[in-house]
Structure 1
Amino acid sequence: MRKKLLAAAMSTLLMAGALAGCGGGAKEDANVIKIGGNFELTGGVANYGKQAVNGIQLAIKQANDAGGVMGKQIKLVLADNKSEAAEATNAITKLITQDKVVAVFGPATSSNTLATVQVSQDNKVPVITPTGTNEKITVDNGKTRPYAFRSCFIDPLQGTIMANFASNTLKAKTAVIYIDSSSDYSKGLSQSFEALFTQNGGKVLGKEAFLQKDQDFKSTLTKIKALNPDVIYLPAYYEEVGKILKQAREMGITAPFLGGDGWDDPKVVEIAGVAPLNNTFFSNHYSSQDTDPVVVKFIEAYKKEYNQEPSALAALGYDAGLLLIDALKRANSTDPAKIREALEQTKNLQLSTGTVTIDANHNPIKSAVVIEMKDGKQMFKEKVTPKL
């Protein structure tokens, strides 16, 4: 009898402990707003994901230090998509169905983001990519995806900027386009560049392609060299860009290379070397040389937090964080539908890369810049403000 009583007592204590544990978890959940982060933390473009996450975490830290939102602390739940589209789909599915996040940041690349947007639409949970620039992320067959947003400008703007830069600033009459055929991002930029460059009176002498992870580009570069273009448009990511520029300069190709924001990573200098990057230019979202007080304040805060200067990807991650935090405050709710409505109504919001208004296609209307690489450093070249 004594053993039965002891067993019953122990059972009651264990149950009480379990209930207390459940109660603690529920209390914690009640005091936090869980936001997902679906990013490339490992794999081929891990640097992009890590930089974007740094920016997001800084925005969240500042908001939490200031008291949070609705009296709650924001918690970032990260999932590594390993720089692969299939893993990105798995990651967002887990974040929404298991972690029960109310919104998702990421991924960083267009291809990986495109692999996730249908999941966000099906589950009616907003997704904000800081750096996915492909048009189809927010618009599908002419219709705006209700739950898809971004804090970066879109590919056509980048291609347009560099086509005008080639024609007007560099006075180029001929070009060769060299794309990563495995990348939606690369294809999108090349299409808009070609359309405007030819409209400006320029001639595209040839189009060549490579695949991500390729190592030897000399065969294709030999063809490009023979065409002798005024400029070479290379809309790709930093790893391949670095290798192509290194090999091109070794082969005696001296023409200017132009690109997009995928160039923006310190590793491009490590891979290519300092000299091969001279006489190259790329479109970007902001410049660290901007003297705007808002930009300066962000750079100082980022340096204090991470002991390094922020890249454009870090700035866009920070902007994505500010965009969502502002929407949460105005929605005064963690209901994903209300967060979506607040995101759509964003107008004249001051972010690190400029003042932003979200347009009907869920894209931000804001300025862009052209960066020149000189002696291994990024130099501000031009600023472009879109017409409203």
Structure 2
Amino acid sequence: MRRVDSIASRLAGNWALVSWLLSALIVAAVAGMAAFLYLSPQGTDTALDGERFKIAVVYPDDPGSRQFLAGIRLAVEQVNAGNGLAGAQLDAAYVPEQPFTDRMKLTSVVERTLDLAGRIVADKDTMVVVGHGYSATAVPASAIYNRERRLFLATHATATSLSNLQFTNLFALQPNNADIARVMAHFAMSQGMRRFVLLSDNSGYGTETTKQFQSFIGQEGGEILYRGALSAEGRSIDDLLLFILDNNLFSVNEIDAFFIATNSMEDAGYFIRRARTLGLSIPILGPENLFATALEDVAGLANMHDVAAVSLYDEQSDSPVARQFLADFEARYGKRPDLLAAIGYDAIKLLDYIVDITGTRDTTKLEDKLRVMRYETPFEGATGMVSFDSNGLITDTDTFIVYHNGKNFEAVAKYRKPFAWHGSVTPPDSGRPSAIIKDYMR
């Protein structure tokens, strides 16, 4: 018993390791547990002349979800204003999940998520699930949806473990953390940045993305001056910034860029705002979730200058589909869409697309079509072309670096997925010239 207690004690202090272990245990065990927790899988073959097609949209119950829900609702309205889903009314049930932070006990998060997913699949009419705001909730929920044969369109989750599950019903609409970190690392090095300060929360998302970024920077000869916690028990972000400004390890003048990865828009926004207030005009790089109006709201628009993120969505795209989405979103809500607004919109339009071309709402047939359409006719959405590889991960699409000019994000570099790195983080095409960024940084 003492040995077990000792192991448990060590694991309790390592959120990332606990996350990985619990995710693995959940994936292995939930399929078996489901036989005890739920009834046998319900058939999802519904006639095309049915009156409604019900989906569940799962979202974090916080201000950061406003744009995501706005994109979802715009698409649902447009689908129903047309022919619906092959003649059926699209009925979206909006299901909130508790906002996740790295300060929570992972066991409690998993328990709540399994309960929520169980209640969703208990409704026999719910055929598709869209959303889940975090990898920490999407991973355990995906096992329930797989067992109960519900199509799952994961809009937020980027954990590499998600696509490695190889569930046939699971489709990830964003690149994973490894791809996101690799793209940002290449961009940073291509701009002459060589020395970095890395900051993250203690979640699996923050630690995995930061470790991947650190690895790719190291491969290309870059230097990590410091890696630490963006937020930690007993230390404020102001304390962190004071350390950065005055320490014996490095000087501020040595830092080419910060890289931050956190689930908390409040922490990220506060760090950006306070860093700028204290005179730190250094570029702040990060993963996809920095492309968010919620972050602008916390940080302040002017303070967002020189913040860069990875995105599938390019607001300045000349694609007719993207231009129409932008016009429709601004007309409906009076504001510009961010990345999650575009992905939420595309998730609904993608569902409409595959139902239309297959002539069925049988989820098994829809899954098959989603996997094979890469080689037939991919879907074009606001984020560009959408298709999936054999693991259900989005592929054959453009990924952008978006850079904030103090007013809005603009795409300044483009990468094509799947990426051709040739054993290095340097692809043959490095995107637009560095003069673009230097102009932003004046």
Partner of 1:381, secondary structure, is strand
Find the counterpart in structure 2 of residue 361 from structure 1: 391
RMSD, aligned α-carbons = 2.4
The 3-state SS of whatever aligns with 2:215 is: helix
**Corresponding residue number in structure 1 for 2:241:** 221
* Structure 1 position 210, deviation (Å): 3.5
- Give TM-score, length-normalised by structure 1: 0.83
**Aligned partner letter, 1:382:** A
Match of 1:108 in 2: 133
Amino acid at match of 2:238: K
Q: Rg larger in 1 or in 2?
A: 1
| Correspondences of 1:152-171 after superposition (within 5 Å) | 152-169=174-191, 171=192
CA displacement 1:55-109 (0-9 Å, x = unmatched): 2222232222221223211111121113244544333221211353111001122
Alpha-carbon offset, residue 295 of structure 1: 0.8
Q: Secondary structure at the match of 1:103?
A: strand
1:201 alignment counterpart: 221
1:245 alignment partner in structure 2: 272
- CA gap of 1:211–1:343, structure 2 versus 1, over 3 A, is farther
> What letter is aligned with 1:364?
I
Q: Secondary structure at the match of 2:410?
A: strand
CA distance in 1, matches of 2:207, 2:354: 32
| 1:152 aligned counterpart, secondary structure | coil
Which amino acid in structure 2 is aligned with residue 265 of structure 1? A
Alignment of 1:46-61 (within 5 A): 46-61=62-77
Counterpart residue number, 2:282: 255
**2: CA distance, partners of 1:48 / 1:139:** 27
Match of 1:381 in 2: 412
Aligned positions of 1:1-388 closer than 5 A: 30-40=50-60, 42=61, 46-84=62-100, 85-86=109-110, 87-98=112-123, 100-140=125-165, 144-169=166-191, 171-181=192-202, 183-211=203-231, 216-225=236-245, 226=247, 227-228=250-251, 229-236=255-262, 237-347=264-374, 348-365=378-395, 366-387=397-418
Report the alpha carbon displacement of residue 195 of structure 1 after superposing the two structures with TM.
Answer: 1.7
Taking the aligned partners of 2:339 and 2:233, their CA distance within structure 1 comes to: 23
Which residue identity is paired with 2:144? V
1:53 alignment partner AA: L
SS of residue paired to 1:70? coil
TM, length-normalised to structure 2: 0.74
Residue 321 of structure 2 aligns to a residue in which SS?
helix
Letter in 2 for 1:295: A
Q: Secondary structure at the match of 1:326?
A: helix
| C-alpha deviation, 1:33, in angstroms | 0.9
SS in 2 for 1:138: helix
- Write the distance in 1 (CA, Å) between the matches of 2:276 and 2:184: 21
Residue 163 of structure 1, CA deviation: 0.5
User: 1:319 is matched by which residue type in structure 2?
Assistant: D
Match of residue 22 from structure 1: none
8 Å contact from structure 1 (residues 238, 264) kept in 2 = no
1:345 partner SS: helix
State the 1:116 CA deviation. 1.2
How far did residue 275 of structure 1 move?
A: 4.2
Deviations 1:330-369 (A, max 9, x none): 4433332222222222322211111122111111111111
Paired residue type of 2:344: G
The percent of aligned pairs where both chains have the same amino acid is 20
What letter matches 1:112 in structure 2?
T
For structure 1, the residue ranges without an aligned partner over 5 or more in a row are 1-26
Summarize deviations over 1:215-265 as a string: whole Å, max 9, x none: 821223334344242211112243211111122233443322111221122
Amino acid at match of 1:121: N
> CA 1:89 to 1:303, structure 2 compared with 1: closer, same or farther past 3 Å?
farther
Question: Are residues 77 and 215 of structure 1, via their aligned partners in 2, closer, same or farther at CA, if it must alter by over 3 Å?
Answer: farther
Cα distance in 2 for residues equivalent to 1:213 and 1:108: 24
Structure 1 residues 213 and 285: alpha-carbon distance in aligned structure 2, compared to 1, 3 A threshold: farther
Q: Distance in 1 between matches of 2:279 and 2:235?
A: 18
Farther off after superposition, 375-384 or 171-180? 375-384
Aligned length, in residue pairs? 352
